[in-house]
Structure 1
Amino acid sequence: MDKPSATAGAQSLRRALQLLRLLAEHQEDGIRLTDVMAATGLERSTAHRLLSCLAEEQFAERGEDKAYRLGIDAMQLGFASMRRVPLVDACRPLMQRLARMSGDTVFLVIRQGDYCLCLHREEGHFPVKVFTTDVGGRRLLGLGAGGLALMAALADAEIERLFERHAAEYAQAGFARERLLQAVRRTRAAGWADIVDTLTTGVSGVGATFAPSAGTLAAISFGAITPRLPPERKAELGQLLTAQLAQAECPRAAPEEL
């Protein structure tokens, strides 16, 4: 679990931070101590001690189901950081330009475990607005345009595990395993993702990924009512998005081959 670092004496802090990331990935259903041990390689006593400390400081909580989740203090830090997010500041000019050029709503999302988190959105001039995701809202990877672009950048084995963990949710959205993999393959071939009616009936989207920093995967996407996004306009917006990301010197994420 530990990573080489020039910072001496920070092993416990590094482990605690990694546990916080793990809790964030399993916030919805929680994660039990045995699963924490399996995911991190920590011994039972070490994992329990760290989780207990996080719970005492209200950065974690243990529910009646004996599963751990982020605590109120961790959430308050997250909400405070949303008021000024460096990535949003860096992407805002590009998003405003894309919204102005397309007339549609533009979203910025990042990967958060099995989900994507909406950091920002910009409204275009078209009178019918699409607000399928609020700032701070989370969606399962693969369902929205940005989330599908993020999923396509993952390794095949990781996508398989993701589907297994959330098979019921994908089925509810109309995604059997093969349909999801076909969408991933289509995204990788085109260089950008497109969706129709996966989150909201009558809404379509186009999205592409970029890597703002090492270890961070983000996506920018368009959202519009379906009549505004026939196949030819999706292709235009996909090409516009990838070209603008390249001009903005946002490094594109290299997807794994399916």
Structure 2
Amino acid sequence: MQTPPEGSSRTGTQSIERVVGMLRVVASRGRGGMRIAEVAVTSGLPQSTCFRMLQRLEMEGLVSREAHTRKYFLGPLLHELGLLARPRYRLSELCDGALHRLADVTQDTVYLSERSGMEAVCTNRALGDYPIKAMALDIGIRRPLGVGAGGLAILCRMHEAEAEAIIAANGHRYEKFAGFTADFLRDAVARGRTQGYSFLDSALTPGTAAVGMAFPAGNPVGAFSIAAISSRLTVDRRAEIARELAQQVRKIEGAMSSAGGIAG
């Protein structure tokens, strides 16, 4: 076996990082897809580089391109590989009942966000009966931790040093979301730790607010968030919702600790 040239290992690692980064960028719009110009802006890479990478990823089935809209989407190979993947917890299934109970009680839109490295991914949601719905997230949308009440709640329940490291590392990414900065999130995390839940009002969508709570403490892997028009989330109602969230979070934490049954 030939010895790899010095530096080739690092070069290969960088290539993998770029590919994974590109897939994360395409996935960041969920099922909405992205045009090449949007991919370049989001990734920070030259458009010509993005085009070459996406061409190759399309050949491998990792992305697909819609001819009419010229948008890129995650490809069929990822779906096929995903069918074989066995997550440690099928968290979406475990939390489905809690999501619907929260939607019934609050009548608002309830989301489940799961941590994925320095990001949060929306993996499930339930709709309440209130006629005006806050539909800020589609299933599959991923954002840097802190952007959205679910991701913010996850930061709030982390150890302080870990949360600070993630905020610092994501600093440049927050700038793509109006109103979000590292300092804004540090303040929001501090408030969330004090009150026991995260809260954002008109941070992403004017007139829409959300309350979130993550689980389990210390090493949060997921969070529930309840979104509504801002006028529905008064101080008193936020306290009521926080109590409902805490009740469901305790049940999920108990199920996770006693039922490694969902473990892969």
Tell me, yes or no, whether TM beats 0.5.
yes
Matched, 1:23 2:20: yes
Matched, 1:149 2:153: yes
Distance change in 2, residues 1:182/1:125 (3 Å): same
Contact kept? 1:211, 1:250, Cα under 8 Å? no
Letter in 1 for 2:223: A
SS for the counterpart of 1:194 is strand
The alpha carbon displacement at 1:223 in A equals 0.7
2:228 alignment counterpart: 224
Deviations 1:124-143 (A, max 9, x none): 01001111000111122112
1:122-133 to 2 correspondences below 5 Å: 122-133=126-137
SS for the counterpart of 1:109 is strand
Q: Gaps spanning 5+ residues in structure 1: where?
A: 1-15, 32-54, 62-69, 253-258
Letter in 2 for 1:108: L
Contact kept? 2:145, 2:154, Cα under 8 Å? yes
Q: Distance in 2 between matches of 1:215 and 1:164?
A: 19
Contact kept? 2:158, 2:219, Cα under 8 Å? no
Letter in 1 for 2:106: S
SS for the counterpart of 1:27 is helix
Q: Distance in 2 between matches of 1:191 and 1:79?
A: 37
Distance change in 2, residues 1:168/1:72 (3 Å): same
Distance change in 2, residues 1:251/1:76 (3 Å): closer
Matched, 1:110 2:114: yes
Letter in 1 for 2:168: E
Letter in 2 for 1:217: V
Distance change in 2, residues 1:216/1:149 (3 Å): closer
The alpha carbon displacement at 1:73 in A equals 2.5
Contact kept? 1:25, 1:114, Cα under 8 Å? no
1:186 alignment counterpart: 191
Letter in 2 for 1:27: R
Aligned residues: 199
Q: In percent, how many aligned pairs have the same letter?
A: 32
Matched, 1:91 2:88: no
Distance change in 2, residues 1:215/1:150 (3 Å): closer
Letter in 2 for 1:162: I
1:139 alignment counterpart: 143
Contact kept? 2:158, 2:220, Cα under 8 Å? no
1:1-258 to 2 correspondences below 5 Å: 23=20, 27-28=24-25, 29=43, 58=60, 73-74=77-78, 76-78=80-82, 86-171=90-175, 172-211=177-216, 217-248=221-252, 249=254
Distance change in 2, residues 1:173/1:74 (3 Å): same
Contact kept? 2:103, 2:110, Cα under 8 Å? yes
Q: Distance in 1 between matches of 2:153 and 2:104?
A: 22
More helix by share: 2
Deviations 1:170-206 (A, max 9, x none): 2443233332111111111222111111221111011
Alignment RMSD, CA only?
Answer: 3.7
Q: Gaps spanning 5+ residues in structure 2: where?
A: 1-12, 26-42, 46-56, 64-73, 258-264
Contact kept? 2:157, 2:220, Cα under 8 Å? no
Contact kept? 1:58, 1:72, Cα under 8 Å? no
The alpha carbon displacement at 1:26 in A equals 7.8
Q: Distance in 1 between matches of 2:146 and 2:196?
A: 15
Contact kept? 2:157, 2:219, Cα under 8 Å? no
Distance change in 2, residues 1:211/1:157 (3 Å): closer
Distance change in 2, residues 1:75/1:115 (3 Å): farther
Q: Distance in 2 between matches of 1:76 and 1:193?
A: 36
